[in-house]
Structure 1
Amino acid sequence: MTFPPYVEQRPGRTRLVPVRNVQYQLREWGDASLVTPERPLLVLTHGWMDVGASFQFIVDELARLEGPVRRIVALDWRGFGGSSTGGADTFWFHDYLGDLETVLDRLAPGAAVDLAGHSMGGNVVMSYAGIRPTRIRRLVNLEGFGLPETRAEQAPARLAKWLDELKEHASLRSYDSVDDVAARLRKNNARLSADKAAWLAPHWSERRADGRWHILGDPAHKLVNPVLYRVEEILAGWRRIAAPVLWVEGANTDVTKFWGDRYPRADFEARLAQVPHVERLLLEDCGHMLHHDQPAAVAARLQTFLS
């Protein structure tokens, strides 16, 4: 059944820009004339298997609160949404950092920005803010928990699995119709309303020559990462974050679905305690997709925090 799609309060526009060896799609709201020292550019970064358009609901709620007064840019990470892959068969975390810096140099050369990230994007922005602390005025982490700690002895098996997966030609399921994509989105997240799912589906997928709807994510993202996650290296960056940090999470997020018992909550709390300046927000009736489940609540706290 087709549902009327969500109606944007503040429509955005897209453009492609060269970023290192790929074409990046940026979704923009407002222009450079809106930027002031008190209200700098706000950059939004999405999570794994998501797209920058997902932030439309938060952008709209901000516009309801303060008007269309803020310049906002949401990027599609390489290999997601409208951004190209660069021909890679594996995606490396450090490329996201290099891409982010290139985008910031293009959009806000020599200026500090407000930076937010969800999930994988939250992990990227936390690392970046520790590497370039003077580039960030305010930092928002929407459930970028990091990853379970790894040990050196895991490296051979991890690398062997990666080599095996390279031979398997990963793929993603395609769909008969855009309505089926919307249904898949709601199956993934029961809190996502029908109108928002109908709006997201054609941004999250595209119809190709075979007549089917394909998810806008490179299947290579499914491969195991051959590089170990070294917690002490990550925390060395987190300790250097100079910007105030807003940590936001959903009360109904179940991280055991991601990692089982490999990443206890106490481990995360110990990591977050090493970030110098952290404010926290817990959202009721909200899971991991905070920007879909409670965009008005996120926007209200963002407005206060960014001000």
Structure 2
Amino acid sequence: MSTVPAVPAAAPAPGATGMRSVTTADGASLAVRTDGPEDAAVTLVLAHGWTLDAGAWERHAQELAAEGRIRVVRYDQRGHGGSTDGSARPWSIDLLGEDLARVIEETAPSGPLVLGGHSMGGMTVMALAAARPGLFAERVAGVLLTSTSAGQLDPRGRKGAPLRLRALGHLESAFFGYCSRTAERSERIRTRLPGPEGRVNPFLVKRYLYGPKAAREAVLAGARMIHACPMTAVADWFPALMLHDKAGALGALRGVPVQIVVGTLDRLTPVAHSRRLLEELPDAQLEIEPGCGHMLLLERPEAVIGPLRRLCAGALAH
């Protein structure tokens, strides 16, 4: 199934009603795009995953905003796309939760909200829920969590993890640590490697992030975003993902309609992670998409648009 290719962060998306910059407390400039009427009854705020950008939500935003009753806000997470790094270090998922709070304060200071997050974006929503339960009690009318996890992503410290996975965890940590320490050199090396317009890069991206039947257009959309992501963001967000742990801290989501969507072939946040979310949020709805990988929102966008539409409809009905 095809998807709309990513739109460069520096240019407005087709049909976008506006672009703006939101500045965080530590000076990061977040590139924000809005679609749909400014006076819409509900605002949908979307957070993308690691190494992607707001273009990952392009088709979702365009379809939902076209209905005329929903305003969609999507932004590049710090260090990604058109957003800068800021001075805060080390980076953490909690910091991303603060960024999301800032985006909401600046772009949707009042009215009902629906929040959606893919992968690291879903973790961002969880971090916000743990830090700002009052916001969820007062304004958040729905949450979508797709291809994401509440924690236990680092196999090195996980009880019962196979030796092979623990060894892989040590290798990954060493690799991204090296890339972080030598970001400029690593960036130069990457520019010499095959890019998304070749054959090797899309093959590897599809193998590890998509299902076997994913359309080439969908694979290329993800491959281009990943290739464009600065090496600093690639390397420095990895330890934050491994340290992410919000299990037992999601009480603010129990009073909110939650939709969880995951692909059966997700290698990064397997179905077991979504099932653990369901154990903590027993009233949530879990949808498992057969044959899809981690890039579910690009591979089968309608599987994500549907739950978002239902959550927004519920918000509009109240």
Name the CA distance, whole Å, in 1 between partners of 2:307 and 2:242: 35
Corresponding position of 1:15? 20
> CA, structure 1 residues 198+188, in 2 after alignment: closer, same or farther (shift >3 Å)?
closer
Q: Measure how far apart 1:286 and its partner are.
A: 1.8
Percent identity (aligned): 22
Q: CA deviation at 1:88?
A: 5.9
1:251 aligns with 2:264: yes
- Pick one of 303, 308, 313 that aligns with 1:297: 303
Q: Mind listing any 5+ residue stretches in structure 2 that lack a counterpart? A: 8-12, 159-169, 207-211, 314-318
Give 1:264 deviation, angstroms.
Answer: 9.3
2:205 to 172, 180, 188: 188
> How far apart are the structure 1 equivalents of 2:244 and 2:92?
14
The number of residues matched between the two structures is: 275
CA separation in 2, counterparts of 1:230 and 1:178? 30
Output the CA distance in 1 between the equivalents of 2:204 and 2:37.
36
My pick for the range that moved more, 10-19 or 179-188, is 179-188
One-letter amino acid of the structure 2 residue matched with residue 28 of structure 1: T
Is the CA contact (8 Å cut-off) linking 1:246 and 1:278 kept in structure 2?
yes
1: distance between equivalents of 2:192 and 2:291? 30
Partner of 1:209: none
Q: Residue 5 of structure 2 contacts residue 55 of structure 2 at CA under 8 Å; is this kept in 1? A: no
1:191: how far off? 4.9
Which residue does the alignment assign to 1:280? 286
Cα distance change of structure 1 residues 220 and 302 upon mapping to structure 2, 3 Å threshold: closer
Deviation at 1:71, TM superposition (A): 0.8
Distance 2:5 2:241 in 1: 40
> In structure 2, the residue corresponding to 1:252 is in which secondary structure?
coil
> Aligned Cα RMSD in Å?
3.9
1:238 pairs with 2:240: no
Please report the TM-score for the alignment, with normalisation by the length of structure 1.
Answer: 0.73
Deviation at 1:280, TM superposition (A): 1.3
More helix, by proportion: 2
Q: After the TM superposition, which of the residue ranges 183-192 and 119-128 deviates more from structure 2?
A: 183-192
Which residue, out of 32, 50, 56, partners 2:58?
56
The 1:126–1:70 alpha-carbon spacing in structure 2 relative to 1, beyond 3 Å, is same
| Cα distance change on mapping 1:72 and 1:177 into 2, 3 Å | farther
Residue 138 in structure 1 maps to residue 145 in structure 2: no
**Contact 2:264 2:291 (8 Å CA) reproduced:** yes
Residues 41, 113 of structure 1: 8 Å contact kept: yes
Change (3 A) 1:83 1:298: same
**Contact 1:186–1:192, Cα closer than 8 Å, also in 2:** no
Q: Could you tell me whether the CA contact under 8 Å between 2:48 and 2:120 is conserved in 1?
A: yes
What is the one-letter code of the residue matched to 1:19?
T
8 Å Cα contact 2:93/2:244 also seen in 1: no
Amino acid at match of 2:23: P
Give me the whole-angstrom Cα distance separating, in 2, the residues matched to 1:181 and 1:219: 24
1:109-188 correspondence to structure 2 within 5 Å: 109-132=109-132, 133-134=136-137, 135-148=139-152, 167-169=181-183, 171-172=186-187, 173-174=190-191, 180=197, 184-185=201-202, 187-188=204-205
Three-state SS of the structure 2 residue aligned to 1:180 is coil
Alignment TM-score, normalising by the size of structure 2: 0.71
CA distance in 2, matches of 1:196, 1:228: 27
User: What's the offset of the Cα at 1:140?
Assistant: 0.4
Q: 2:161 — aligned with what?
A: none
The 3-state SS of whatever aligns with 1:123 is: helix
Q: In 2, are the aligned partners of 1:182 and 1:198 still within 8 Å (CA)?
A: no
Tell me what 2:77 maps to: 77
User: Does the CA-based 8 Å contact 2:259-2:307 persist in structure 1?
Assistant: no
Residue by residue over 1:207-250, the C-alpha shift from the partner in whole angstroms, topping out at 9 and shown as x without a partner, is: xxxxxxx623342541452797374xx23321232211100011
With over 3 angstroms needed to count, the CA separation of the structure-2 counterparts of 1:229 and 1:200, relative to structure 1, is closer
When residues 277 and 148 of structure 1 are mapped into structure 2, their CA distance, relative to the original with a 3 A threshold, is: same
Once the 2 structures are TM-superposed, how far is the Cα of residue 285 of structure 1 from its aligned partner?
Answer: 3.1
Gaps in structure 1 of 5+ consecutive residues? 206-213
